[in-house]
Structure 1
Amino acid sequence: MPLSELNKPFSPGEIWEARKRLKPYIYSTPLLFSTGLSQITGCEIYLKMECWQLCGCFKVRGAINMVASLSEGERRRELVTCSSGNHGAAVSFATNLFRGAKAIVFVPRKAEKSKLAKIKSYGAEIIPYGQDFLMTLDRALEYAEEGGGIFIHSHGHPLIIAGQGTIGLEILEDIPDVEVVVVPIGGGGLISGILTALKSANEKIRVFGVESSAAPGAQMSYRDGYCHERIQIGASIADGLMGTLTPLTFELTHKRVEKVVAVNDDQIVQAMRLFQEEEQLTVEPSAAVSLAAIISGEIDIRNKKTVLVVTGRNISWERYQSLLTDGISPKQEE
């Protein structure tokens, strides 16, 4: 599919089409009430458990939706993507479902080893390149264009957004009277899909976004009124959020998101500890930012029925244990 499709209009109907397409392949993940987190935050906290999804993260929804939409001829071409880990694993998994498909995954050189192992386990070829997501993205785009491959964007393609939006449909089915949904933001594909699904049913549902302070592209874009596709990305333990918005994800969200806040690594680690202490949940840093924003006071949702989208669990035991035991060291922040 050409990159021009990244600028195609997007409608809620595409999310319903994605749901039908995905039904044979994915889990409808549970939505669990958290007594402990509700008491701590002063609101009704429900956890949308995408950390229990196939591949250990929500990304498989968008990846399967896009790969399933390709023709057999398109699948026989190389399916190229760029990822810090989770999207690459999802694309690798999705190509396994369809005979003849092959995935090429470009990753930053500092990508986490446990995520690389998961990508490899599903059969994709990994090409390390660049020091951050944007450098890696540029090379992946060049490679796809030079070799005639199909580029599968991690967050900017309508089919990816539609797949992620099926999470919103499931939330509405389980809690029709939900008042607030808090969603992590990297490139904006997840919040674009979820927000579109929720607002198509009830415009009064408030949707908050949370990103890492190391990659505040959404905050900058909403503040300035245009999409910042190129920003300076710092270092963060939340590797899955080290992207920026695209024109489409900006267009879908900037007038409808209640607020976007940024959290730092220390706040993320605190939230990871709370997930473990209160719910015995092991989550990766990117999945903890929504809770981090609430406990830090950046989002005030007291007495509201609130869903946190817990996006993934893909972190090695050694790294997880180190973060919770030792916190953030200067070396980790480099």
Structure 2
Amino acid sequence: MLDYNLILDAAHRLKKRVRRTELIQAHHFSEQLGLPLYFKCENLQRTGAFKIRGALNFMTSQPRQALSGGVITASAGNHAQGVAFSADLLGVKATVYMPESTPPQKVFATRDYGATVVLEGKNFDEACSAALREAEAGGALFVHPFNDPYVMAGQGTIGLELLEDLPDLANVLVPIGGGGLIAGIARAIKETHPHVRIIGVESAAAPSMQLSLKKGHILTAPIMASLADGIAVKTVGDQTFPVVKDLVDEVVLVDEEEIALAIVSLLERNKLMVEGAGAVGLAALLNGRVKRLSGKTVAVLSGGNIDVKTIAVVVERGLLAAGRYLKLKVELDDVPGALARLSAVIAEARANISIITHDRRSKSLPIGKTEVLVELETRGAEHIQDVVKHLEKSGYLLEVIR
């Protein structure tokens, strides 16, 4: 079990080396949810995520001789940058194994901190296996992303900061991948404030912790591609699992549309750029995944390293989930003025055309017909229903594209 004193030592060791991130009140979401909500903004941390806390604490806890052969690790991105930054700070060589699907922004950032990056494996677990083999063969010190007491203790300093900034804290929502972050935070908080409710949030695409807790022992879960790539872990740690089992009150799941909507909502309402893994706590709250909440609540925004290309996809999915965007396929008579009349009917429904594509050559179309793909800006789910009903009432055959 993780020793509380390790977390206190980590706080002393990391002071002035990592950013004490802001705890901000989320006024809009507080009103929407009916409870005082705060964000712990680890997306504003040096390297853009909480991972620097654990990586730096681990490395500064080691004898200098242990670092002489360099360090090696595996990561989907955030831990990679934490290790690379820490190694550069300490003058140590770093090698990072990353999955082949890692967003380019995270790869470039890791290299910018001076680390050697090796892309290998389809997911974190495969990259981690490769890194462990290299560590055994080459003698470099392996820095585990989550399954280590010093790493967990470093992450646990977030819990200490939360209690200092918000002594009457009632609930904390924490993203779960391998379990290092929530294990550290839970130990830091429950030691002195056992009444605080600790809630873990996983992506439904990678539910390894929830499945393991239900069975009472560690299971390897199949994972799917997710916007929350930073917490897409097949197998949780054998050191993190007992802490989570003992101290965490509940673990819930969120799906991809819910994550996308949370990312867009954070960007629009709080001007915060947060990656998928960092947005799962808010996603759980917005979609009622956690019941019977009351009192001051914190969602830990664990990271903000989202790939620029991914942002466009996420924004579109978030808008679709929020009912702010509608895609339609409409069949028209292939006669002059048909497209203009369709545009007029859409205008009558008070929807704004964003993109329109007119196809007269599809083999699936009957002679004398044409197909239009139209993307509309809408004002919510109710408005979408009104738009569709108005078009159908006006005689159009259409298909809503999901």
TM-score interval w.r.t. the shorter chain? over 0.9
User: Could you tell me which amino acid in structure 2 is paired with residue 93 of structure 1?
Assistant: F
Matched with 2:343 is none
8 Å CA contact retained: 2:23, 2:39: yes
Structure-2 change in CA distance of 1:86 and 1:160 (3 Å): same
User: Could you tell me which amino acid in structure 2 is paired with residue 20 of structure 1?
Assistant: H
Within-5 A mapping of 1:136-155? 136-155=127-146
Deviation at 1:214, TM superposition (A): 1.1
Deviates more, 1:243-252 or 1:86-95: 243-252
Mapped pair 1:16 → 2:4: no
8 Å CA contact retained: 2:111, 2:117: yes
Deviations 1:42-67 (A, max 9, x none): 11101101111100000000011011
- Structure 2 SS opposite 1:32: strand
Matched with 1:70 is 62
8 Å CA contact retained: 1:41, 1:295: yes
| Largest Rg, 1 or 2 | 2
Q: 1:318, 1:108 → 2: CA distance?
A: 18
| Between structures 1 and 2, the one with greater strand share | 2
Aligned length: 319
Deviation at 1:300, TM superposition (A): 2.3
8 Å CA contact retained: 1:41, 1:302: no
Deviation at 1:197, TM superposition (A): 0.5
8 Å CA contact retained: 1:84, 1:240: yes
Mapped pair 1:162 → 2:158: no
Aligned-residue Cα RMSD (Å) equals 1.4
Q: 2:29, 2:317 → 1: CA distance?
A: 23
Matched with 1:320 is 311
Q: 2:49, 2:94 → 1: CA distance?
A: 18
Counterpart among 76, 83, 90 of residue 75 in structure 2: 83
Within-5 A mapping of 1:166-315? 166-228=157-219, 230-243=220-233, 244-315=235-306
Q: 1:327, 1:18 → 2: CA distance?
A: 38
Counterpart among 30, 37, 49 of residue 22 in structure 2: 30
Deviation at 1:87, TM superposition (A): 0.3
Q: 2:180, 2:128 → 1: CA distance?
A: 16
Deviation at 1:265, TM superposition (A): 0.8
Scaled by the length of structure 2, what TM-score is found?
0.77
Structure 2 unaligned runs (5+)? 321-402
User: Could you tell me which amino acid in structure 2 is paired with residue 195 of structure 1?
Assistant: A
User: Could you tell me which amino acid in structure 1 is paired with residue 64 of structure 2?
Assistant: E
Deviations 1:62-108 (A, max 9, x none): 01101111222111112010000000010000001112x11110000
Counterpart among 46, 56, 59 of residue 54 in structure 1: 46
Deviations 1:248-299 (A, max 9, x none): 1110111321110111111100111111121111111111000111111111
Q: 2:5, 2:238 → 1: CA distance?
A: 20
Mapped pair 1:96 → 2:88: yes
Within-5 A mapping of 1:114-133? 114-133=105-124
Matched with 2:331 is none
- Structure 2 SS opposite 1:172: helix
Scaled by the length of structure 1, what TM-score is found?
0.93
User: Could you tell me which amino acid in structure 2 is paired with residue 74 of structure 1?
Assistant: A
Q: 1:45, 1:235 → 2: CA distance?
A: 29
8 Å CA contact retained: 2:262, 2:318: no
Q: 1:154, 1:46 → 2: CA distance?
A: 26
8 Å CA contact retained: 1:265, 1:328: no
Deviation at 1:326, TM superposition (A): 4.5
Question: Percent of counterpart pairs with the same letter?
Answer: 38
Q: Which has the higher contact order (CA 8 A, sep 6+)?
A: 1
Q: 1:71, 1:254 → 2: CA distance?
A: 32
Matched with 1:107 is 98
Deviation at 1:302, TM superposition (A): 4.1
8 Å CA contact retained: 1:42, 1:302: no
Deviation at 1:28, TM superposition (A): 0.8
Q: 1:61, 1:326 → 2: CA distance?
A: 32
User: Could you tell me which amino acid in structure 2 is paired with residue 164 of structure 1?
Assistant: Q
User: Could you tell me which amino acid in structure 2 is paired with residue 177 of structure 1?
Assistant: D
Q: 1:71, 1:328 → 2: CA distance?
A: 51
- Structure 2 SS opposite 1:226: coil
User: Could you tell me which amino acid in structure 1 is paired with residue 254 of structure 2?
Assistant: V
Segments of 4+ in structure 1 off by > 4 A? 326-329
Matched with 1:332 is none
Structure-2 change in CA distance of 1:231 and 1:302 (3 Å): closer
Counterpart among 8, 15, 35 of residue 43 in structure 1: 35
Deviation at 1:31, TM superposition (A): 0.6
Q: 2:238, 2:69 → 1: CA distance?
A: 27
8 Å CA contact retained: 2:264, 2:319: no
Q: 1:55, 1:19 → 2: CA distance?
A: 18
Deviates more, 1:240-249 or 1:161-170: 240-249
Q: 1:320, 1:22 → 2: CA distance?
A: 32
Matched with 2:357 is none
